[in-house]
Amino acid sequence: MPHTEEWTVRLQLFEEEGTTKARVQLDTGTTQLTGHGVAHRNPSDADVPEIGDELAAGRALHDLAGQLVSAAERDIEGMGAERPSPQQVVGWPM
């Protein structure tokens, strides 16, 4: 059974006084999730905005990924399957 979807992801970065904040929004067409991430620069470190952007964005994407896995686990349980094992990394259930 072929299946094709297109999801929209929007990543926004904000920097203020050595702190970079990231917000990543996922829109699946039926569900919207938002992940958040923050990076703080030590005042004694060089001001390299790319590093803060990378850390904050990575943390926001990690937050979003956790939300997606949790949603999938709830959906699997809703179908009557056992709660997935945290060690299982391939196959279905997760």
- pLDDT for 4 equals 94
> Rounded to an integer, what distance in angstroms lies between the CA atom of residue 55 and that of residue 58?
5
Residue 16 forms part of a structural domain: yes
> Rounded to an integer, what distance in angstroms lies between the CA atom of residue 87 and that of residue 55?
26
Residue 93 forms part of a structural domain: no
How many domains are there within the chain?
A: 1
When comparing pLDDT for 90 and 34, which is higher? 34
Residue ranges making up the domain that contains 15: 8-78
Q: 71-87: per-residue pLDDT in tens?
A: 998 988 888 877 656 66
Residue 83 forms part of a structural domain: no
- pLDDT for 84 equals 58
Q: 39-72: per-residue pLDDT in tens?
A: 999 889 898 999 999 999 999 999 999 999 999 9
Residue 91 forms part of a structural domain: no
Residue 89 forms part of a structural domain: no
The SS3 assignment for 11 reads strand
If you search the block for the tokens 């929209």, which residue do you land on?
8
Q: What is this structure's pTM? A: 0.81
CATH code: domain of residue 53: 3.30.160.240
- Residue 52's nearest CA partner among 25, 22, 23 is 22
Residue 23 forms part of a structural domain: yes
